[in-house]
């Protein structure tokens, strides 16, 4: 029975604790042995959160390159996704900024004015 997909699906929510604007990531190797320990670093190459103890063995025992950054640096980064113009109105060429709940339609600034005038 393969469980890798389920583990990846739960990675984002199983190791998070959301409180008063704070998110604490758990060490993934420790979680596998039922130990709750806060992660302090993230290996970008392995996509894995690690505590200081596991960091050392991770780098020494796992083959390959390991670009390790602090959890704070990982959490403060902004990922950019290229939408390949799918985030723009085909009629006006402007980015979508609004969503009409009445018609379930994305609207740019020009569409939203015309859309609202038409629907009044």
Burial (CB count <10 Å: 0-12, 13-18, 19+), residue 83 = exposed
CATH number at residue 31: 3.30.160
- Does 3 fall in a domain? no
| 27 pLDDT above the threshold of 90 | yes
Give residue 103's domain range.
84-120
pLDDT band at 40 (very low <50, low <70, confident <90, very high): very high
| In a shared domain, residues 118 and 96 | yes
Quick one: pLDDT at residue 2?
Answer: 46
16-20, 59-63, 81-85, 87-91: lowest mean pLDDT where? 16-20
| In a shared domain, residues 64 and 115 | no
Greater pLDDT, 25 or 92 = 92
Report pTM.
Answer: 0.46
| In a shared domain, residues 63 and 88 | no
State phi, psi for 34 to the nearest 5 degrees. Answer: 60, 35
């Amino acid at each position: 029975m393969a469980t890798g997909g389920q583990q990846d699906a739960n990675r984002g929510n199983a190791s998070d604790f959301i409180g008063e604007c704070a998110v604490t990531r758990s060490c993934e190797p420790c979680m596998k042995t039922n130990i709750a320990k806060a992660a302090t670093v993230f290996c970008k190459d392995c996509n894995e959160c690690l505590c200081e103890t596991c960091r050392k063995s991770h780098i020494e025992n796992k083959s390959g390159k390991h670009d390790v950054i602090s959890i704070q640096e990982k959490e403060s980064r902004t990922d950019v996704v290229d939408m390949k113009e799918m985030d723009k109105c085909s009629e006006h060429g402007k980015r979508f900024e609004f969503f009409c709940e009445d018609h379930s339609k994305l609207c740019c600034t020009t569409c939203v004015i015309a859309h609202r005038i038409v629907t009044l």
